[in-house]
A = this chain, B = another copy of it.
Amino acid sequence: MVLNSRDSLTCQVRDVLDRVGDKWTLSVIYELRDGSRRFTDLKRAIDGISQRMLTVTVRSLERDGLVERTVYATVPPRVDYRLTALGQTLLKTAWELIDWATLHAAEIDEARDRYDHRPPTPV
């Protein structure tokens, strides 16, 4: 592990976490796990994402150097996205977090339910 028990997170690291921890970012990274995909294909795969939000997300990922964008001069133009080498290293780590979320989503839901139905306590 890079960080040891005395370090706190720097602002730069927190900014990176804020970006890559975003649910749409993780969804796109995850959908690119098997190779390149078209914009329209990504949109279909990610339930509930709007065209605009997908555009913003892939553009940020491209800016961060995590995703590579290729435009083919067809009519209409075809746009493909794929993970860069750096994006592949994020996928590996993100997958663990996604697995954690998948494994514990029901447990978290139950905890929320308990919390919402308990008597109020003083702040």
Contacts and interface: CB of A to CB of B under 8 A. Distances in A.
Interface string A31-70: 1011000000000011110000001000000111110000
A13 B112 CA distance: 15
Contacts of A121: 71
A119 B2 CA distance: 36
Is chain A's binding surface mostly helix, strand, loop or mixed? helix
Nearest to A21: B21
Q: Which of A11, A97, A109 has the most CB of B within 10 A?
A: A97
Interface of A: 1-3, 5, 8-18, 20-23, 26-27, 30-31, 33-34, 45-48, 55, 62-66, 71, 86, 89-90, 93-105, 107-112, 114-116, 121-123
